[in-house]
Amino acid sequence: MSAQTTALMTAVSAGDLQAFDRLTQLVRGRGFRMARSWVGSHDDALELCQDALLKVFKSRASYDPGQPFLPWFHRILRNTCFSFLRRHRRIRKTSLTQVDADGTEHEFQIIGTEPTPEASALQTERETLFHLALEDLSERDREIIALRHFEDLPYKQIAESLDIPEGTVMSRLFHARRRLREALAPHMESAETPSPSEA
């Protein structure tokens, strides 16, 4: 998709408006998923993705056809979302869903589900704990985890999107996972500690 989006953006920068429509269709699903991983809200993510695409169009004359489009778009989207978070000074609520390109949502699975009520209850509890732990991370940590685990991108594409070496991607992801485990630990401990009535 990288070569195709770059070719389309090159055409857009040359004045082809139909190419922008095709480009939008290709990247808006990915853009929405990333925006939602940062800001949490479905409606805000839709609006911010649209804002980022509008910025892409307005900046079309400054696009460098020698550079891949997706990392450039990612930076515009990232700046748009982070400006929104700073402006509203709020803690973003992390979604535990994955969203397909057509907008269909699926629950993010942390563990495999079992066809029993007990397993379903445990799954719900674990998702809630994961949600709480993910909120404790920095925007940078949430970003790298989202790119790797929600978007399932290889290290090379993450490196291109963030404009950093692959080694830095691996290091940043390692530390983000560690901090996620550390943030999750207190929630897991409190969940596993029996109440006085159970002791």
| CATH code of residue 172 | 1.10.10.10
72: number of Cβ within 10 Å: 21
pLDDT at 13: 93
Domain presence at residue 69? yes
Residues 89, 128, single domain; the answer is no
The yes-or-no verdict on residue 192 having pLDDT over 70 is: no
Average pLDDT of every residue of the chain: 76
Domain presence at residue 103? no
The yes-or-no verdict on residue 18 having pLDDT over 80 is: yes
The yes-or-no verdict on residue 101 having pLDDT over 90 is: no
Taking Cα atoms as reference points, which of 196, 172, 143, 118 lies closest to residue 37?
Answer: 143
* 95/40 Cα distance (integer angstroms): 5
pTM: 0.60
The yes-or-no verdict on residue 111 having pLDDT over 80 is: no
CATH no. for residue 41?
1.10.1740.10
Domain range for residue 139? 109-199
Pairing of strands 105-107, 97-99: antiparallel
The yes-or-no verdict on residue 51 having pLDDT over 50 is: yes
32: number of Cβ within 10 Å: 21
pLDDT at 22: 95
29-45 pLDDT, tens digit each: 888 888 887 787 788 88
Per the model's pLDDT, the better-predicted residue between 138 and 62 turns out to be 62
Tokens of 85: 């978070």
- How many domains does the chain fold into? 2
Query: At residue 67, what is the residue type?
Result: Q
Tokens of 135: 């909120």
pLDDT at 95: 42
9 pLDDT tier (thresholds 50, 70, 90)? very high
Tokens 């920095």 sit on residue: 138
120-160 pLDDT, tens digit each: 555 566 666 776 677 678 878 888 887 887 777 788 888 88
Residue ending a domain, among 37, 67, 96, is: 96
